[in-house]
Amino acid sequence: MNRVVFDSIDVSPYAGEGSPPEGEVSPFYVPQSADDNTLLFESRFESGNLRRAIQVYEYEYDLILKPDYNTRGYTQWYYFRVSNTKAGKQYKFNIINLMKPDSLYNHGMRPLVYSEAETRRSGRGWVRGGSDICYYQNSMKRKNPGYYYTLTWSITFEHDQDIVYFAHSYPYTFTDLQRYLNKLDSDPKRKNRMKRKALCQSIAGNNCDMLIVTTF
């Protein structure tokens, strides 16, 4: 099929009318009918990383990541979600622009998976999931000498119309950190043993907190 169904930067040719809810972004792809089984991808949230999703078959997608900032193209972190899932169908994902010549995915590691429907049903959170996992060199040449590598896995979703997240490792965002530090600040026992101030700011303008823990 080879059609782009998600891009985190380019303007969508599928965009519908109207504005998204506050704090949300307009979906890149809009299902064309009730029988449209295309997965809806999203990575435009904190710590998310997926540049583009290309549907190659009905239930198979090639994925392209954005490189880590301030590197010479180093690419490893992925974190995205899909919706419009169909229970009992096996989907295949191929991340096709990875850089490392070998990976723990070839030695038993599996992607992390989080299902909103399963969390509501059983309280289950992030779990390692997927099958038929493989990491290998593909035929795409890099600008520098060498080739890209592909991480591929399959998964069968448990619920219809679920929202499912995939990540390389357990996400811990800047917001998670700030909530934790604010909780420490508001604890009357802990705040007497801790002093918090800004050491500097990141390139994005976020405070890098410095903590002093002592009896003062």
Q: Are residues 20 and 106 in the same domain?
A: yes
Q: Are residues 109 and 201 in the same domain?
A: no
Q: How many Cβ atoms from other residues are within 10 Å of residue 33's Cβ?
A: 6
pLDDT of res. 15: 66
Long-range contacts of 101-104 (CB under 8 A, 24+ apart): 101/137, 101/149, 102/135, 103/135, 103/149, 103/151
Residue 31 has pLDDT above 70, yes or no: yes
Q: Are residues 162 and 186 in the same domain?
A: no
Residue 203: band (very low, low, confident or very high) from pLDDT cuts 50, 70, 90: confident
Q: Are residues 146 and 89 in the same domain?
A: yes
With 0-12 CB in 10 A as exposed, 13-18 as middle and 19+ as buried, what is 71? exposed
Distance CA 10, CA 141 (A): 23
Distance CA 7, CA 30 (A): 13
Sequential DSSP letters for 139-183: EEEPSSSSEEEEEEEEEE-SSTT--EEEESS----HHHHHHHHHH
Q: Are residues 137 and 186 in the same domain?
A: no
Q: Are residues 110 and 207 in the same domain?
A: no
Q: Are residues 29 and 109 in the same domain?
A: yes
In this predicted model, what pLDDT tens digit does every residue of 133-156 receive, in sequence order? 999 999 999 888 899 999 999 999
Q: Are residues 27 and 84 in the same domain?
A: yes
Q: Are residues 185 and 133 in the same domain?
A: no
In this predicted model, what pLDDT tens digit does every residue of 189-199 receive, in sequence order? 888 899 999 99
Q: Are residues 104 and 152 in the same domain?
A: yes
Q: Do 84 and 159 touch, CB atoms closer than 8 A? A: no
Q: Are residues 42 and 144 in the same domain?
A: yes
Q: Which two tokens stand for residue 127?
A: 């779990």
Distance CA 133, CA 151 (A): 7
Instruction: List Cβ neighbours of 105 (8 Å cut-off, separation of 6 or more).
Output: 133, 134, 135, 151, 153
pLDDT of res. 148: 95
DSSP letter (8 states) at residue 10: S
Distance CA 36, CA 159 (A): 16
Q: Which two tokens stand for residue 76?
A: 């490893």
Q: Are strands 194-201 and 207-213 parallel, antiparallel or unpaired?
A: antiparallel
Residue 85 has pLDDT above 70, yes or no: yes
Comparing C-alpha atoms, which of 1, 52, 46, 62 is closest to residue 28? 52
* CATH (domain of 149): 2.60.40.3120
Which of 167, 190, 205 is the last residue before a domain boundary? 167
pLDDT, averaged across the chain: 93
Q: Which domain holds residue 58?
A: 3-167
pTM above threshold 0.85: yes
Provide the domain count of the chain. 2
Q: Are residues 112 and 192 in the same domain?
A: no
